[in-house]
Structure 1
């Protein structure tokens, strides 16, 4: 019995067929563990942001937060919309200049509309970057070069972060802040290390043969495109000016939020705290911007002797005002969705459902309208998405 049983088992294994209890999966289908890990990575930032908010509200209560939100009136909403209009226009101008430096055409009116839409999607969706991805892909489809369009958006965001780093470091080093002493301690070693690294790179570059200098260093192509997009003579001054104006608008919005939340701290005391809050907003661990910003602001206000509860209230009011400032982006979405549902003028679409090449050029090839959905990153329903069509 045992011998025949062993032979039967061996024959079953030799056939190579899966056991009945473990049905075979189609090729390329991930198992449950892989799917769970992907889901966890996708929603990790949202979960962390919710956890931070929950911990703060549980520890500090909702009293200061509710009081701050109740003080938002019509004048505050109009102020938020005004500041948001200034920062959005200058941000769109910075994007236009960056795209032009990379050789991509982007009219200012189209850039403003797309930037408003991106801000609204960033504020309404988890992660805080989906709107930027959307505008990069849409602009790339309209320009016929998604690769350079994505780089233009990335470089535009990098310009804003560089302005925040430079101006923020100056404010944190000069004005009273909870981190001023620590920054002064590490500022000199960091500056010396950066200068040493730059000197090494330049020395390696100069010691190479002239014919091998171009593109010889790792990342030289990326640095060359960064210079073209951000540091050219035509675009560099405008990008620097727009970045400073945008940063000033964000700092002004924080001061307004502090006054609405009932904080009586002076502006020189609030500016370093605002820089810390803006730095925390760059972390991809938030829900529509909420999360680390509130945690860092609560700690900064407590360290400055202003109260952690007041810091949470200011951060939340700032988030609400920022969302209000991005609301015109919802109007852009609705307007484009309505335009897609209404269709197109006569003569724009031929009998085959394709766009007339006399109007849009022979290089564009589109398919018939299928999904008039405002969040789609594809060409708009039978007509190529171009900056002029905004």
Structure 2
């Protein structure tokens, strides 16, 4: 595993860092105020072709891989984990999984649209009584006599549900024969989208409940093989967990940088507060956690590339990095005191956003159980 970025990778990192600073950072306050993505984001996203390099060469891209995506989401998360998560979903679901596993004829055109944010891809898995316990799914997907599939049921939290073009929906197959992953196109009169949930953090994620009322789709909209959707779902979610770990690393790094700058400038009792040993030791702990998080991400990416699917390393990276980010953000808020606690404050916002990361795509507790099962 290479532990230093190449010149080309550094160039990509610099480009994505500039986009985050010039486009994402100015939009954050509007997202906090409205809890929606700012309309100007789409235009800037397309103009700078942010995700085009992740398209394969035959579609005009450069075939960038999961490691490059981890670099991108780390940079974006310094200013907005929300935009970072959107980028991760578009690449992992809208480009990678779409081109590898989706069967409908227009999937190549939709990959280009995913890169431009013209077609948002969202995952619909969590239900009111089935979060991490996928065995409790009540949404059903049943084959009909005419060969189509009918989906009925509901999902509790679907990110960007109202603006999604495709919902990647996990459902229990008819007659209890496994689990099917089905791609549901929107809008549709058979799909009802509820009000956006107000949340502690991650304003702009626009998560809402979704209900399917005998929604019919052709057989080509079943991802992979009917009844065997969990394999594909797990592979997709493992990649998303790695991206969540990279997001946590970027969030923690930015909070650390802000707090370190404050500690060097802020004076109490005649000297900078950063000179006090009690803070120096905790800054050292924070730096240790951030570097270890990044290494967890890179190792998970490396092993996922060799094995195709790597639950253990993805889960470890997700648990470690998200818990580290919450610890670091809490410490940095403490260092900055009222400067961070009073809104608007980037560290205060990152602290609230960090709480989401420990819950999404498998809670720390459930993932620890699953890690232990494989030891």
Task: Please indicate, yes or no, whether the TM-score normalized by the shorter chain is above 0.5.
Answer: no
TM-score by length of 1: 0.27
TM-score by length of 2: 0.28
**When you count strand as a share of all residues, which structure comes out higher?**
2
Q: Which has the higher contact order (CA 8 A, sep 6+)?
A: 1
- Find the structure with the greater CA-based Rg: 1
**When you count helix as a share of all residues, which structure comes out higher?**
1
